Amino acid sequence: MTSERRAAGRDLPGSLIAAAFILIGALCWWDTTDMSDPDSYVFPRMVIVLMIAFSLLLILRNLLLGGGRHHLSTAGSWPRRVGLVAAMLLGALAMPLVGFLPSGIAVFLAIMLLAMYDPWTGFRRVVFPLVGFAIVVGFFVLFSEVLRVPLPLGSLFE
Amino acid sequence: MLPGIEYFAAALTPFNVALALGGVAAGTVVGSLPGLTATMAVAVLVPLTFAMAPASALILMGAIYTGAIYGGAYAAILLNTPGTPSAIGTTFDGYPMAKRGDGDLAISAASLASVVGGLVGALALLLLAPPLAEVALAFGPMEYFWLAIFGLSLIAALSEASLLKGLIGGCFGLLLSTIGVAEISSDVRFTFGSRTLLGGIEIVSALIGLYCIPVLIDMVATPDRHLQVEAKPRGFRLREALTISWRGKINLLRSSIIGTLVGILPGAGGSIAGLVAYSEARRSSKHPERYGKGEPDGVQATESANNATVGGGFIPTLVLGIPGTPPDAVILGALLVQGVRTGPNLFTEQGSIVYTFIYGLLLATVLMLPVGLVIGRYAYRSIVTVPKAMLVPTVGFMTMIGSYAIRNNISDVVVMIVLGVFGWGLGRFGFAVSPIVLGLILGAIAEQGFVQAWTIGSAMDDLPGMFFGRPISLGIVALTLLSLFYPLLRARLPARRGVVREASYDE
Amino acid sequence: MRAFASLAGVALAALSLGLAAPAAAQSYPDKPVNYIIPFGPGGESDITARHQQAFYPDMFGQDLVIEYKPGGGGAVGWSQLNDYKGDGYTWMGVNLPHIVVQPMQKDVGFKTDDLTIVYMFHYTPDAIVVHKDSEFQTLQDLVDYAKANPGRVTLSGSGKATSNHIAQVLFDGMAGIKTTYVPFKGTGAAVTALLGKQVAAEWGYTSVGASHRDQVRMLAVAMDERHPLFPDVPTFKELGFELASGAYRGIAVPKSTPEELRQQISDMIGQINHDPEFRKRLENDGMAMLDVGYAEMGAFMAKMTETYHGVAKEAGIAE
């Protein structure tokens, strides 16, 4: 998937995304049939109709005129991208179990490894994790003590 | 003679000055962290105010509030992530400026604009509060609906590549805004059985996800520097920023007035003020094509407007007892607990509290310049110099704790990440995230205004009169059409008529 | 990675130390209590809690910390209440009719019986409020106009399936009139519409009459007796309509909270509620005081639930 600026051909991904939006619209319309109060469904239905209409227009335009000169480059490392998202998602899901602090530290260190492009010198090996630890603990204290945000402590330890 | 000038000295006690200074500094930091909002910071302080004189408590809360609205600009400029929803419009031009190495200039320009906007708003509060409070009452459901549509018309300008894709995104954003228990009809909508979605998509978390996650995903993928940097530091670049401000003085003034007026409207707030001011700045600019690509005037329009909402929002709060913005609601609550009665007589009966507070707010706004420049410079240097292996995890961690803290809800974090990935993916193929965000923040206002106007109009048997027969509504509709079609008109007019063209050279 | 492992170890150790001290009921409360409001800051539920917060430290030597968990009209907070530890340090505000009507309508993640309510401390009676310039001087004026012009009297109110909405449906039935209810996202927005003359009247609360005294007039209040703050405003009952309703507020705790602690918390809230200065302040805000402790809660809730079930069906709000 290295879609550099394609020739002015068909904007296939654009059309597919538009089709997905049509599907989402249809699904939401089906959900509105459950609502009895017009106050609840009038506005969403109006929006759904517009969204499906615009999506159809986009597909039609792509078919007739071609389109799609505006795809951004996706150069760079895919494993690191996926890793970042996975680390954050896993961290968020783990928070209620192991607590905010351990999970936050783990996420921080994982992303640090993913974002490291310079060699791990001895200095960095020691200082970076320590600074990271300090940042996470600092924010934890700021939020939980100063701002009184009840950060999860983890159900595994209760 | 300024009203209540005798209270000016009262506002200037060392204690109050310290409160204003500390409040602005703390507020600026709060605002710059995505997920920490002015509302939250002010709410945390409420118990503190039980032990304080009401005026001092108000000064502290006002200073924090105004600082937080300003601080939102840092993250918007440096990380493409509005630190508070008020700074959404700041990302449009602030981040492109930072990308090309002008982040320091953008911050200085934002600081100046925020001070100007804050002063205009506070002066309006000081001089014109009772008459201006009427604005809050003149706006009915229909006007809110058209105001939301005006905001949505910005989609045309923000749809980077393709208008159709922008419109689809906008509709999708509107649809996202209806998820969960409906605010006015109490129906459960589009949750598809998920309890996570009952509370709807939290706007601040969604903003963090849609704007910040894509930046992080691309940051982690390459070894390139996050922002361009010049070899040698260039100070605050205050002189350049001053030149820009002076050249754009009309823009600054207009945006500040827009901000004050929108701030007066309960339920609108800083994000809409910024968007409306941005839209107007772009329309009246000689170079609308530069907007969205790093035009300092765009940053100044949003930042002056959103800080003007602080003073503006206090107008209905103090005069009518109707909070103009969410932080105002918290401050109003704190006042009620202290036994202060708001209302038209507040200015005369409890002048010492009100005027001490307003002068304190003016003072805090002025202090924002030095405080902001120093903190802003520090923020800029940190973002520029910190190695990627520290920057990415720090920002990533902040997005998580921030989106959690808004509602103390872990599922908001998950929704934030998912929306972010989604926004990044769509962005690859020409579907920009800004239209989605516009739909999301304007959806509730548009829907409620529409449903209420429809209900009232049907009850009166006068739907057409309701939708198209109210003067303020018509004014907003006209402005919307103007901002949509004016660029087209202007592009054609000079080409057809040489005279006009010549005349414009005389300037 | 070894650095990471040891760091995590340190963190875990630090954390478990903090959790080691168990809560002892004798010394309760020996640390701040978290008082969760399932709405955003600035609303009436928040302001009430702030009043309680101001009295709490002097009585119990600790802080009461207010936090917000808004979403779903309160449902997000209530559906998560029982996930909290029942150690007495988590309280959550509950509101009637919300906690009865919401689960009747759809699956909102909790049932009324899931909530362990320890105290109901006041209610805000429903009231019909008009602008001070309004042509309606008495309730009869409004009823007469509505009879002559069915549907043309517009009344703003706070959302649907709320106390305001139920009162509107019930009153229309009793008076044999047809009015138009215009839902707003909260009392603040509904008042703004009234003050801006976007609607003819508002189905609001006595608190609206209290905080906007100079700008509005109340035609009738839905109480058994007149409100001490408004001796001139008649009750609906005096005028021949059997309507006494409002938005009730109370405090619930997680289900796992032990019995003796539930009773103790109930007594604590009662102690605040009986403070004369506290009562005066809340009455000045337009509230009507109420004292239903943990012991009487079962009977109270059974009665309220039955009433709301009947009313909600009658109003077509739930099947």
pLDDT tens digits for range C260-288 = 999 999 999 999 999 999 999 999 989 99
Which residue in chain A has the smallest CA separation from C64? Answer: A148
Residue with tokens 């204290």: A141
pLDDT of res. B267: 79
In a domain, B498, yes or no: no
Contacts C161 to B, Cβ<8 Å: 186
d(CA B54, CA B336): 10
pLDDT bin (cut points 50, 70, 90) of residue A6 is very low
In a domain, B506, yes or no: no
Least confident of B43-47, B345-349, C158-162, C218-222: B345-349
pLDDT of res. B236: 74
Beta-carbon neighbour count of residue A50 at 10 Å?
17
Which residue in chain A has the smallest CA separation from B171? Answer: A51
Distances in Å between the alpha carbon of B352 and those of B129, C34, C164? Answer: 16, 35, 38
Amino acid letter, residue B339: G
Compare B506 and A69 and report the one with higher pLDDT: A69
In the 8-state DSSP scheme, what is residue C87? Answer: S
In the 8-state DSSP scheme, what is residue A4? Answer: -
**Two tokens at B477?**
């509709």
Distances in Å between the alpha carbon of B107 and those of A28, B100, B312? Answer: 42, 14, 23
Q: Which backbone phi and psi does B86 adopt, to 5 degrees?
A: -60, -25
Chains in contact with B via at least 3 Cβ–Cβ pairs below 8 Å:
A, C
pLDDT of res. B262: 94
pLDDT tens, residue by residue, B347-403: 877 778 888 889 999 999 999 999 999 999 888 888 888 899 999 999 999 999 999
pLDDT tens, residue by residue, A21-72: 999 999 999 999 988 888 999 999 999 999 999 999 999 998 888 765 566 7
Tally of domains in chain B: 1
**Two tokens at C24?**
């002892």
Q: Do C7 and A101 touch (CB under 8 A)?
A: no
> In the predicted model, is pLDDT for residue C175 greater than 60?
yes
The mean per-residue pLDDT over the stretch B458-471 comes to: 91
Tell me the pLDDT of chain B averaged across its residues. Answer: 88
Least confident of B158-162, C8-12, C61-65, C242-246: C8-12
Contacts B165 to A, Cβ<8 Å: 14, 58
CATH 3.40.190.150 applies to domain C31-123+246-314:
yes
Q: What percentage of chain B reaches a pLDDT higher than 70?
A: 95
d(CA A121, CA A127): 10
Using an 8 Å Cβ cutoff, are C242 and C223 in contact? no
SS (H, E, C) B233-251: CCCCCHHHHHHHHHHCHHH
pLDDT tens, residue by residue, B113-135: 999 999 999 999 999 988 899 88
d(CA B499, CA B487): 19
* Triad B333, B339, B344: Cα angle to 5°: 80
> In the predicted model, is pLDDT for residue C13 greater than 50?
no
- Selecting from A102, A149, A158 the residue whose C-beta is nearest the C-beta of C8 gives A102
Distance, C-alpha B226 to centroid of its chain: 25
Of C83, C104, C130, C74, the C-alpha closest to C250 is C74
d(CA B22, CA B367): 10
Tell how strand C201-205 and strand C154-158 pair up.
parallel
pLDDT tens, residue by residue, C15-68: 444 443 444 445 889 989 999 999 988 888 998 999 999 999 999 999 999 988
pLDDT of res. C128: 97
> In the predicted model, is pLDDT for residue B70 greater than 80?
yes
Using an 8 Å Cβ cutoff, are B306 and B273 in contact? yes
pLDDT of res. A67: 64
The mean per-residue pLDDT over the stretch C301-310 comes to: 92
Amino acid letter, residue A60: L
pLDDT bin (cut points 50, 70, 90) of residue B145 is very high
Using an 8 Å Cβ cutoff, are B296 and B97 in contact? yes
- Selecting from B162, B187, B414 the residue whose C-beta is nearest the C-beta of A70 gives B162
Contacts C160 to A, Cβ<8 Å: 37, 39
On whether any CB of chain A is under 8 Å from the CB of C106, the answer is: no
Sign of CA dihedral B436, B439, B442, B447: negative
pLDDT bin (cut points 50, 70, 90) of residue B493 is low
Q: Do C19 and A106 touch (CB under 8 A)?
A: no
In the 8-state DSSP scheme, what is residue C127? Answer: E
> In the predicted model, is pLDDT for residue A88 greater than 70?
yes
d(CA C130, CA C209): 9
- Selecting from C73, C180, C212 the residue whose C-beta is nearest the C-beta of B321 gives C212
pLDDT bin (cut points 50, 70, 90) of residue A157 is low
Of B374, B279, B365, B277, the C-alpha closest to B74 is B374
Which residue in chain A has the smallest CA separation from C12? Answer: A102
d(CA C183, CA C198): 12
pLDDT of res. B478: 93
Distances in Å between the alpha carbon of C135 and those of B458, C132, C154, C166? Answer: 22, 9, 14, 25
> In the predicted model, is pLDDT for residue A76 greater than 90?
no
Q: What percentage of chain C reaches a pLDDT higher than 90?
A: 71
> In the predicted model, is pLDDT for residue C127 greater than 90?
yes
3-state secondary structure of A103: helix
Fold equal for C31-123+246-314 and C125-221: yes
> In the predicted model, is pLDDT for residue B73 greater than 80?
yes
> In the predicted model, is pLDDT for residue A102 greater than 50?
yes
- In which region does residue C107 sit, left (phi positive, over 0), alpha (psi from -120 to 50) or beta (all else)? beta
Domain that holds residue B17: 5-489
Q: Which of residues 147-166 of C touch B (CB under 8 A)?
A: 151-152, 154, 159-162
On whether any CB of chain A is under 8 Å from the CB of B447, the answer is: yes
**Two tokens at B2?**
């300024």
Q: What percentage of chain C reaches a pLDDT higher than 70?
A: 92
Question: What is the helix (H) or strand (E) element at residue B288, kind and residue range?
Answer: none
Can you name the residues that pair with C176 across neighbouring β-strands?
Answer: none
Contacts B162 to A, Cβ<8 Å: 14, 58, 67, 70
The mean per-residue pLDDT over the stretch B149-155 comes to: 92
**Interface ipTM:** 0.92
The mean per-residue pLDDT over the stretch B152-176 comes to: 90
Q: Which of B42, B181, B205, B317 to mutate to test the interface with C (most CBs of C within 10 A)?
A: B181
What DSSP string runs through C230-270?
Answer: -TTSPBTTTTT-----EEEEEEEE-TTS-HHHHHHHHHHHH
Contacts B216 to A, Cβ<8 Å: 84
Q: Do B222 and A77 touch (CB under 8 A)?
A: yes
- In which region does residue A99 sit, left (phi positive, over 0), alpha (psi from -120 to 50) or beta (all else)? left
Q: How far is C61 from chain B (nearest CA, A)?
A: 15
Of C152, C181, C186, C185, the C-alpha closest to C169 is C181
pLDDT of res. B209: 95
Least confident of B223-227, B316-320, C110-114: B223-227
d(CA B46, CA B58): 10
pLDDT bin (cut points 50, 70, 90) of residue A7 is very low
Q: Which of residues 174-213 of C touch B (CB under 8 A)?
A: 180-185, 188-189, 191-193, 195-199, 211-213
On whether any CB of chain A is under 8 Å from the CB of C20, the answer is: no
3-state secondary structure of B90: helix
Contacts A102 to C, Cβ<8 Å: 8, 11-12, 15
pLDDT of res. B144: 94
**Two tokens at B233?**
């530091």
Q: Which backbone phi and psi does C64 adopt, to 5 degrees?
A: -110, 115
End-to-end CA distance of chain B: 38
Using an 8 Å Cβ cutoff, are B288 and B282 in contact? yes
Amino acid letter, residue B227: L
pLDDT of res. B1: 60
* Triad C231, C233, C234: Cα angle to 5°: 105
Distances in Å between the alpha carbon of C286 and those of B317, B418, C93, C223? Answer: 19, 45, 19, 12
In a domain, B337, yes or no: yes
Which residue in chain C has the smallest CA separation from B43? Answer: C41
Can you name the residues that pair with C235 across neighbouring β-strands?
Answer: C221
In a domain, B211, yes or no: yes
> In the predicted model, is pLDDT for residue B242 greater than 70?
yes
Q: Which backbone phi and psi does A83 adopt, to 5 degrees?
A: -60, -45
3-state secondary structure of C299: helix
> In the predicted model, is pLDDT for residue C4 greater than 70?
no
Question: What is the helix (H) or strand (E) element at residue C77, kind and residue range?
Answer: helix C75-80
pLDDT bin (cut points 50, 70, 90) of residue B231 is low
Contacts B390 to A, Cβ<8 Å: 112, 128, 131-132
In a domain, B213, yes or no: yes
| Domain C125-221: CATH class, spelled out | alpha beta
pLDDT of res. B6: 81
Q: What percentage of chain A reaches a pLDDT higher than 90?
A: 61
Using an 8 Å Cβ cutoff, are C253 and C116 in contact? yes
> In the predicted model, is pLDDT for residue A8 greater than 60?
no
pLDDT bin (cut points 50, 70, 90) of residue B494 is low
In a domain, B82, yes or no: yes
- Selecting from C40, C53, C285 the residue whose C-beta is nearest the C-beta of B336 gives C285
Distance, C-alpha B56 to centroid of its chain: 26
Contacts C65 to A, Cβ<8 Å: 148
Q: How far is B266 from chain C (nearest CA, A)?
A: 8
* Triad C217, C219, C221: Cα angle to 5°: 110
Tell me the pLDDT of chain C averaged across its residues. Answer: 89
* Triad B337, C74, B406: Cα angle to 5°: 75
pLDDT of res. C142: 97
In a domain, B503, yes or no: no
Where are the domains positioned within chain C?
A: 31-123+246-314, 125-221
Q: Do A81 and B220 touch (CB under 8 A)?
A: yes
Contacts of C128 (CB under 8 A, 6+ apart): C139, C142, C155, C171, C201, C202, C203, C204, C218, C219, C220
Amino acid letter, residue C272: I
Contacts B404 to C, Cβ<8 Å: none
pLDDT of res. B500: 40
pLDDT of res. B232: 62
d(CA B336, CA B415): 36
pLDDT tens, residue by residue, B75-94: 999 999 998 889 999 999 99
Amino acid letter, residue B140: G
Burial class (CB in 10 A: 0-12, 13-18, 19+), B385: exposed
pLDDT tens, residue by residue, B19-37: 999 999 999 998 998 888 8
pLDDT bin (cut points 50, 70, 90) of residue B173 is very high
pLDDT tens, residue by residue, B199-213: 899 999 999 999 999
Using an 8 Å Cβ cutoff, are B294 and B97 in contact? yes
Question: Could you give the count of Cα atoms lying within 13 Å of B501 in the half-sphere of its Cβ?
Answer: 8
In a domain, B494, yes or no: no
- Selecting from B220, B398, B454 the residue whose C-beta is nearest the C-beta of A84 gives B220
Tell how strand C90-96 and strand B180-181 pair up.
unpaired
> In the predicted model, is pLDDT for residue C112 greater than 50?
yes
pLDDT of res. B393: 95
> In the predicted model, is pLDDT for residue A133 greater than 50?
yes
pLDDT of res. B382: 87
The mean per-residue pLDDT over the stretch C183-189 comes to: 90
pLDDT of res. B268: 83
**Two tokens at B94?**
């602030």
